[in-house]
Amino acid sequence: MSAELQPLIPTTDQRAKMAYVYIRQSSLMQVTRHGESTELQYSLVQRAVALGWPRERVELIDEDLGKSGAHAEIRGGIQRLLAEISLARVGLVLSFDASRLARNNRDWYQLLEVCSIFGTLIADGQRLYDPRLSHDRLLLGLSGMMSEAELHQLKQRMQAGARHKAERGELRQGLPVGLARGPAGEVILNPDEEVQARIRLVFEKFQEIRSAGGVMRYLRAAHLPLPARPRVGPAPYEVVWQPARTSAILDILHNPAYAGAYVYGRKLLDPARRTPTHPAGGRLLQPLDKWEICLHTRYPAYITWEEFVANQAQLRTNSLRYREERPGVARKGQALLQGIVRCGRCGALFHLHYSGPQGECPEYRCSADQSQFGGTDGQRVRALALDTQVEQRFLEALRPDQVALALAALAHLEQEEMAENKQWERRLERARSQAKRAERQYQAVEPENRLVARSLEKQWEERLRAVETVEKEYHAWKASRFGTFTQADREAVVALGSDLPALWQAATTTNTERKQMLRLVIREVIVDSKRAEGQVWVQINWQTGAQEQFWYQRRVNSYAVFTGTQALEQRVRELNAAGLMDAQIAATLEREGYQTPGLVHPITSKIVCHLRARWKIPTVKLNNNQQNPAQWEDGSYSVEGAAAKLGVSQDTIFTWLKTGRLKGERLGRSMPWKIYVTKDDERRLDAWLRCQGRRTRRSQREAL
């Protein structure tokens, strides 16, 4: 008779090992409400004893109660069981059915393979299996497949029912902290006024700052925590207050329930994004157009649906992705047009590049044509020059409205002060009410019940300390604020706001604030630096829809492409014809605002001399281009006159001027020298020549 057809009886070696009874329920609700099923699984211990294992060698694994069998990674019990089998310590594994051990084929066949290698038997509520036998292996495989198919069918029916219920808006969903359920199950605003005020403050500040990180920094600076409702323990969940975090603010901004919308299918599960450290992760937020169900006006709203859609668009824009037309939020770098300057040739947004030893030279670059289509090198525009041009027009555009802007800023400051003060008053009111409640609880306890009285007394003291802490923080905040605006304060604010250029250039105004102001007025700036040599074409698209175009000179390396070359040459010729020397010409050009191609270096006499040589303009000399006299009118000598007076060659005079033995000056290059020779200089130089032996030889030559 074949071994596979004989009744399966555990061997002595198998009985010498341990028998493990694996117990699992899929959820905590099943554990609490389906007690009979759990008891039935615990009774498998008696079946292990009936198969020949002593009771002390039968071990229970029940730490996976309340965990789903869809994945083995989150179940510590099944992992421990596999480890024990791999160490050849297990002779029998008992479970009520295959679905208790695994709900997917990958985990099920891994268990079968390990058991077949180490000779471990598998038993359910009806029979005993040996994974090493082909018939038993086939039955176990079919059992695992049916278990997985059953789970699939269950999920399909439950998801279809949930979707059908969600289409009517009746599927009960978790609510954010700003909403709550009333006694009849209806959705209402959170009855806590402080919670409502804090949620509204987040939306108001996002409309103003346009950045979740900026809202977080504002709340942190104002010492205003955010409400949260952790889903820990049984419902109803308690509201707790936590320091502001960017992730918490993003959760508020992304949640459509605050706009009164009932949404189903807002997140998509992507198993590929799950990690062992986050087995429940992998949920991706879907864009609005991919939500399966969206029913408006089902909840009381904090903002309108249009405001919610605008917030989502702003959050997408805040992520820096130039190729997706996302310029990002205003940052603290020097480039004021970061994210809003566009190439005038291909239409792509300029990238920002910083160069220099300390990154002090920002530059706008466009390489889309080169990288995408294999074209030539794209545009490069120096940021500081372009920013200066746009900044001037921005301030000029706001000049007529400066007083109105100052008054609006004053009103905004007063409203912000009042709003923050109300937030602090609600926080203080909460702390004091909790202290009063703790006091009433302590007063209500029987004096003889000291065990309870001591705990309530300690709780009361903690609440009183919390009130004291909040009051100190409130007074510190109030001391750092403006307080009540007096008439003098109002006049000072209006005067400061009326001088917008001074406020713009103030050291206290950050680059981030300047960029935010620019973006409120300017939608985008289009630039083309290759339309004309040495010039940059710019078009400003204002938020009002108006457009403004202009040109400005750019920095170049050559006078050949410099746009001001012709005017500069004409002016140099005029000044040279008027008899001005190089230093005088340079001073006149600087005073009249002429510039070099680099636009940063001043015009000096050396530059004028170079330009004259380039344009073949003759030099203006002291003697009107005639032969130099021996002595000038002021008593100084020319090179020829000094050489004759001292009895040396002109080369020697030039050497003495270079080494400092003689003192002289000239007004510019190619200009004659004025050499100052005194009696002391004559005696000193004559003595030096005699010491060198040169005077004797020269005297002999003169004598011959």
Whichever domain contains 144, its CATH number is: 3.40.50.1390
Tokens of 191: 């009855």
Q: Are strands 341-343 and 522-532 parallel, antiparallel or unpaired?
A: parallel
> Pick from 339, 364, 387: which residue ends a domain?
339
Q: Please enumerate in sequence order all residues whose Cβ is within 8 A of that of 203, keeping only pairs 6 or more positions apart, or say none.
A: 252, 253, 258, 302, 303, 307, 311
- The structure's pTM equals 0.61
Residues 608 and 644 both lie in one domain = no
Domain that holds residue 515: 340-554
Angle ∠(268,272,278) on CA atoms, nearest 5: 85
Q: In whole angstroms, what is the distance from residue 488 CA to residue 317 CA?
A: 41
Residues 683 and 606 both lie in one domain = no
Residues 120 and 201 both lie in one domain = no
DSSP 56: G
Question: What is the three-class DSSP state of 205?
Answer: helix
In a domain, 4, yes or no: no
The pLDDT of residue 204 is 92
Compute how many other C-beta atoms are within 10 angstroms of the C-beta atom of residue 126.
8
On the 0-12 / 13-18 / 19+ scale of CB atoms within 10 A, 103 is: buried
Residues 335 and 217 both lie in one domain = yes
Q: Which residue has the tokens 């010039």?
A: 535
Say if CB 108 and CB 144 are below 8 A apart: yes
Region of residue 140 (left: phi > 0; alpha: psi -120 to 50; beta: else) = alpha
Name the phi and psi angles at 628, rounded to 5: -65, 135
Which pLDDT tens digit goes with each residue over 242-273?
Answer: 999 999 999 999 999 999 999 998 888 777 77
The pLDDT of residue 199 is 93
Residues 325 and 345 both lie in one domain = no
Which pLDDT tens digit goes with each residue over 147-179?
Answer: 888 878 888 888 888 888 888 888 888 899 999
Q: Give the E-state strand segments of 44-109 in sequence order.
A: 58-61, 90-94
Name the phi and psi angles at 108, rounded to 5: -65, -45
> Pick from 111, 130, 163: which residue ends a domain?
163
Tokens of 564: 């001001």
Read off the amino acid at residue 303. I
The pLDDT of residue 696 is 46
Residues 583 and 596 both lie in one domain = yes
Say if CB 180 and CB 238 are below 8 A apart: no
Dmax over CA atoms of the chain, in Å, equals: 148
In a domain, 1, yes or no: no
Extract the residue ranges of the chain whose pLDDT is less than 50: 1-2, 696-704
Name the phi and psi angles at 409, rounded to 5: -65, -40
- State the sign of the Cα–Cα–Cα–Cα dihedral 70, 72, 74, 79: positive
Give CA separation, 119 vs 15, 282, 341, in Å. Answer: 11, 38, 72
Compute how many other C-beta atoms are within 10 angstroms of the C-beta atom of residue 210.
19
DSSP 90: E
In a domain, 533, yes or no: yes
Residues 317 and 355 both lie in one domain = no
Residues 432 and 517 both lie in one domain = yes
Say if CB 260 and CB 296 are below 8 A apart: yes
- Of 565, 512, 501, the C-alpha closest to 534 is 565
Q: In whole angstroms, what is the distance from residue 187 CA to residue 179 CA?
A: 7
Compute how many other C-beta atoms are within 10 angstroms of the C-beta atom of residue 22.
22
Say if CB 582 and CB 605 are below 8 A apart: yes
Say if CB 96 and CB 84 are below 8 A apart: no
Residues 116 and 245 both lie in one domain = no
In a domain, 631, yes or no: no
Q: In whole angstroms, what is the distance from residue 484 CA to residue 277 CA?
A: 53
Q: Are strands 58-61 and 18-22 parallel, antiparallel or unpaired?
A: parallel
Residues 212 and 349 both lie in one domain = no
Tokens of 668: 């510019």
Residues 503 and 578 both lie in one domain = no
Catalytic residues: 26
- Of 234, 282, 286, 283, the C-alpha closest to 256 is 286
> Pick from 554, 588, 605: which residue ends a domain?
554
